[in-house]
Amino acid sequence: MRGWMGRIRSLFLFGALTMLLAGCGIENVSALKPKGYGSELLFDLMMISIAIMIFVFVIVMAIYTFVLIRYREKKGQEHIVPKQTEGNKALEVIWTVIPIILLLVLAIPTVQATFDLADQSSQDEEGVITIDVTGNQYWWQFTYADQEIATSQELYIPTNERVYLNMKASDVIHSFWVPSISGKMDTIPGENINTMYLEAYEEGTYEGFCAELCGPSHSLMYFKVVAVSPDKYDQWVEDMQNVDPEAAPETASAQEGQELFNNNCMSCHAIGGASAGVGPNLANFGNRTKIAGILEPTKENLKDWIVHPDEIKPGNQMPVELVTREEADKIADYLLQLQHSEIGQDVPSIGASE
Amino acid sequence: MSTAAAQKRGLGAVIWDYLTTVDHKKIAHLYLVSGGLFFLIGGLEAMIIRIQLMKPDNDFISAGLYNEMITMHGTTMIFLAAMPLIFALMNAVVPLQIGARDVAFPFLNSLGFWLFLFGGLMLNVSWFTGGAPDAGWTNYAPLSTTSPGHGVDYYIMGLQISGAGTLIGGINFLVTIVNMRAPGMTYMRMPLFTWSVFVTSTLILFAFPALTVGLFLMMFDRMFGSAFFDVGLGGNAIIWEHLFWIFGHPEVYILILPLFGAFSDIFSTFSKKRLFGYSAMVFATVLIGFLGFMVWAHHMFTVGMGPIANSIFAVATMAIAVPTGIKIFNWLFTMWGGQIKMTSAMLWSIAFIPSFVIGGMTGVMLAVAAADYQYHDTYFVVGHFHYVIVGGVVFGLFASVHYWWPKMFGKVLNEKLGKLAFWPFFIGFHLTFFIQHFLGLMGMPRRYWVFLEGQGLDTGNMISTIGAFLMAIGTIIFVINIVYTSVKEKKVSGDPWNGRTLEWSIPSPPPHYNFVQTPLVRGLDPFWVEKMDGKKGMTPAEPLGDIHMPNASILPFLISGGVFIAGFGFIYQVDDPAWLIAVFVGMGITLGSMLTRSLKDDLGHHIHKEELEEDIKKGAGK
Amino acid sequence: MSHDDVLNPKQMPHDPEKATLEGRNKFLGFWFFLGGETVLFSCLFGTYLALNGSTQGENTPEHLFGLELVFIMTMLLLTSSLTSVYAMYHMKNNDFRKMQMWLTITVILGLGFLGCELYEFFHYIHEYEFTFRSSAFGSAFYTLVGFHGGHVLFGLSWITALIIRNQKRGLNLYNAPKYYVASLYWHFIDVVWVFIFTVVYLMGKVG
């Protein structure tokens, strides 16, 4: 545990509460199983607020239960007229002052954490990674400007380092959220660039969500954050920098697929480089854990997606039936063999401990 | 024109009567019926949402339709169900509680209702003309400005029209409460319900214009090619969020405050005690209303306003917990030492306290700006605001409807059925929404059409759906109760609950002039004061004399109908300029009716002393 | 107060607009309404201030605005506010003719203002091709100033309708509150213009 909040955590009812809530949800998805700096900070903040709230709730319910049992009208009491009390100044002061104190106790860590998470002091330091995040209907573009590489749907970061994200959107407002690593931040079209940072403690693949309604496929705009050790991360960057979009595949089918892909798909998509195109950059596609963020990476699924993307993500920009199913078969062969980097394949993913 | 003459008339005459009425009690009926119907429609939409989310990867409805469902559920429940039902109570009760014969502007009162109804109809017409609005009830740009079809246009026109109605209603009640109180009814003797309506009306007055502007800007963007939210031409999408929430946050208090007031009256009546800490309660109500304007940006913590703004809005939001806490404790101490009578109205009120305390506490948790980065736009928020709005507003509406039903209709809602409706609704409510807090923290964002298998969200969603069905059962029993009561129950006296405030001192339902003689108010809970002095009714403040009453008018209906027609013109002129004819015809009807109103003198009429004496003989006096 | 009293021009108290309950309601309700209008214009001003830099590189406020015309417009509207004060002064003195005369002058001045505004818009559109759709600044400018112009138009129609309707029958307790709130509305429009003059034109030219 880092910081003073960690020390508080071991006090009073925190232990039990933390245990209870930490039982909820799936590893690498749930905000209740923090795996990064932001999520842990916020988890502690949640625990403080929940503890205060439970304290208040118990008091209110104690008075409530007593009143309801003690003062319920019984048979034969209908004629009784109770004393018409006007109020009590001392009581009013008590239930004004105590909540104010409790809220002050809560307000101080709130302000601290708010400033802590907005801290950008180390962003310009040497060797600190900044990634440009762009939200699109309905996929995520991650551009590593300094390294001149780009990925989509899978964001690679090194563990135990602060990685800054400069975020915007290309069409409508989206919101970038990886609950198990940090809180969310909106991506907004136009001039407005929001900055936040991620710091993951452990290697792993973490589930990411779009959290702002952005159209019919809002609920299908998943992405992954792949955190690997700094060494592996450097290797991954190198792998990605070495992607050769022209590289010829081995099988004949895949070679035909490459040609079909170049003729039909390249106007929007790219493979390798740092392009932020109309569609996702498909470098390392064959190693992705999901197709389009939601489908299992099987060839059949990929073909379905290529021919009828509208049936899988309603309202998305990819054209329908641009190629036939036979052609899609070949394109799928080509795409699935795009395995540019092995990094990230062996890290724990969703629900690993279940 | 007296109530006696209103009986035994044909259906046509009754309809005409309601179309032209300016009587606050009949307008209350209109609000109650239309708000109730919209509540059922909104509930049906909620059920469809919960069925869709019953299991992972469900395909009960399509993604596009799902977005229409959530948008219409939110919009309908807030604007077309909760608001009008609150207006029904305001109309039915406030003039009676302050000893007035009508509201300050009976004509505008009717206009407000018809604008609301036509706005609500407009919104719902969209289901049949190619798709409802689908950008969420918050309608964020640029998703809304780029949404294809006309759904969002219906949202804009519908809310603009019904919003104008609400604004008019707000001004009306402000003036009513300031100018029309009976002699002796000082501000610090007003029942808490009237007080909270006063504060709510102020909030309406200062909050709704922000929505009006937001809707105008969006209308211009979508229909006339302006660039407020179009980043391509230098626009800024965040302006909409600010305008929406400058309206939207006070709106939350507009919804809850009147019910706080109603609970205060109910706790006091059914504990047979005066309200504990009356002046603290008034102060807390005013303070909540004031702070309600200072906190809108807590809906926007993740927009990137920076840590300073976020911290300020966080602390301001937490501050609201203090006056709310004061209220909770004062309610508890109102019951303390009392004689608690467990009627249906009281049952809903009792259930409100723990439910609302939970909603308030999650509210404070959400105020923690940094932690909101985790909560924001997840099911945690959905859980929170349903705890506040269902646990507060809907419970309050049920309680109030049980409480004031005899005043409005002369019959007490069947108590057995009332309690039978309560339990499934109450249990179902907690089943549906408590688990949603955890779903949110476990990683389920709100407004998700489907959730995936293997993310640990299956059980929670199933429980939530089961709860929703229980709530539906409760609601159905409540509707059955209304029918059963109307058919089977007997008329009761004007004061079935041993009431404390002025409305219980007159017959149920009241004659259309309310008070034969304006009552003299001698203290807080004026009727109780008189009863404790051994009197049967209020002491009159004036001799028996002619009563001046406003005339009925069809103009409010025509004015509203005109903008309704014009609304369609505005929506479809984008496709075909010929639709501009509808704009001109509609606005012509509206402006023509307004001009008629302006040029034609309408001095009202008098009910003569002799008629009143007749009524008194029949028992209307007491 | 019976019908006949209300419509009897001979029995005018000192504050005819507040002599009846209906009059007092109208008076107070209209003040509340103006409170709402204030929020409405505040939101429009806020939007304008957020967008007045979004000119897309052309037709900036500095480039467009000419203070001469705006100065004339300001004078017209300020004077019209003064004349409506005179009108209300004569209402309190129960001098119906003079009240009608001063209101007519108010309307003429208002029409002059509106004419200048239309000319200004016409000028921007044709000389500079600066329209509602050019940029976010264009949208915000025409919306803010146009909303005010719309209020002026409505106010003029309203006061004209009152002048014509009551020409033959004179002042009474029924129409006095109507006159009074119409003049309140006119003052409000005037105040809003002072802010537009400052925030839009002066700050646009100088800032």
**pLDDT > 70: percent of chain B:** 98
Q: Where do the domains of chain A lie?
A: 4-70+88-118, 130-241, 252-336
B337 touches chain C (CB under 8 A): no
CATH 2.60.40.1120 fits A252-336, yes or no: no
**Are C136 and B171 in contact (CB < 8 Å)?**
no
Question: Which of A22-26, A180-184, B207-211, B558-562 shows the lowest per-residue confidence on average (mean pLDDT)?
Answer: A22-26
Q: What is the pairing mode between strands A130-136 and A163-169?
A: parallel
CATH class of the domain at A130-241: mainly beta
pLDDT digits (tens, 9 = 90+) for B245-265: 999 999 999 999 999 999 999
CB contact under 8 A, B227 and C133: yes
Over the stretch C78-129, which tens digit does the pLDDT of each residue have? 999 999 999 999 998 889 999 999 999 999 999 999 999 999 999 999 999 9
Q: How confident is the model at residue C7 (pLDDT cuts 50, 70, 90)?
A: low
Q: Are B519 and B182 in contact (CB under 8 A)?
A: yes
* Shortest Cα–Cα distance, A52 to chain B (Å): 9
Residue of B374, B378, B430, B439 to mutate, interface with A, max A Cβ within 10 Å? B374
Closest residue to B213, CB basis, from C33, C40, C50 = C40
CB contacts of C143 in chain B (<8 Å) are: 216-217, 220, 226, 228
What single letter denotes the amino acid at residue C159?
A: I
Q: Which residue of A has its CA nearest to B276?
A: A87
Q: Is the pLDDT of residue B7 over 70?
A: no
Task: Decide if A130-241 and A252-336 have a common fold.
Answer: yes
C-alpha distances (whole Å) from B344 to each of B139, B267, B505, B549 are 38, 12, 22, 36
Confidence category of residue B453, pLDDT binned at 50, 70, 90? confident
- Return the number of CB contacts < 8 Å for B and C: 124
Mean pLDDT on B427-447: 95
Q: Tell me whether residues B335 and A209 touch, CB distance under 8 A.
A: no
Contact at CB, B227 and C139, closer than 8 angstroms: yes
Say what the pLDDT of residue A312 is.
92
| Closest residue to B175, CB basis, from C25, C39, C162 | C25
pTM score over 0.80: yes
What is the distance in angstroms between the Cα of B99 and the nearest Cα belonging to chain C?
A: 15
H-helix or E-strand spanning residue B607: strand B605-607
**Which residues are CB-contacts of C5 (< 8 A; sequence separation ≥ 6)?**
C11, C173
Q: Evaluate if residue C12 carries a pLDDT over 80.
A: no
Does the distance separating the beta carbons of C40 and B598 come in below 8 Å? no
Average pLDDT score over residue span B468-478: 97
pLDDT in tens, chain A (354 residues): 445 555 555 555 566 676 677 667 888 899 999 999 999 999 999 999 999 999 999 999 999 999 999 999 998 888 889 999 999 999 999 999 999 999 999 999 999 999 999 999 998 898 899 999 999 999 999 999 899 999 999 999 999 999 999 999 999 999 999 999 999 999 999 989 999 999 999 999 999 999 999 999 999 999 999 999 999 999 999 999 999 888 889 899 999 999 999 999 988 998 988 776 789 999 999 999 889 888 999 999 999 999 999 999 998 989 999 999 999 999 999 999 999 999 988 888 775 443
Instruction: Compute the nearest-CA separation of A245 from chain B (Å).
Output: 32
Inter-chain touch C56–B214, beta carbons under 8 Å = no
C partners (3+ CB pairs within 8 A) are B
The full set of domains in chain B, from first to last, is 3-553+602-617 (1.20.210.10)
Q: What is the pLDDT of residues B33-64, one digit of tens each?
A: 999 999 999 999 999 999 999 999 999 999 99
- What's the pLDDT score for residue A82? 93
Average pLDDT along chain B:
94
Which domains are assigned to chain C? 17-206 (1.20.120.80)
Minimal Cβ distance to B326: which of A38, A92, A184: A92
Label each residue of chain A as H, E or C: CCCHHHHHHCCCCHHHHHHHHHCCCCCCCCCCCCCEHHHHHHHHHHHHHHHHHHHHHHHHHHHHHHHHHHCECCCCCCCCCCCCCCCCHHHHHHHHHHHHHHHHHHHHHHHHHHHHHHCCCCCCCCCCCEEEEEEECCEEEEEECCCCEEEECEEEEECCCCEEEEEEECCCCEEEEECCCEEEEEECECCCCEEEEECECCCEEEEEEECCCCCHHHHHCCEEEEEECHHHHHHHHHHHHCCCCCCCCCCHHHHHHHHHHHHHCCCCCECCCCCCCCCCECCCHHHCCCECCCECCCHHHHHHHHHCHHHHCCCCCCCCCCCCHHHHHHHHHHHHCCCCCCCCCCCCCCCCCC
- Test C51 with B228 for CB contact under 8 angstroms: yes
Burial label for B148, CB within 10 Å (0-12, 13-18, 19+), is: exposed
- Inform me whether the pLDDT recorded for B300 exceeds 50: yes
Chain B neighbors of C54, CB-CB under 8 A: 233-236
Q: Which residues of B touch C4 (CB under 8 A)?
A: none
Say if the Cβ atoms of C54 and B236 lie within 8 Å: yes
- Which of residues C144 and C7 earns the better pLDDT score? C144
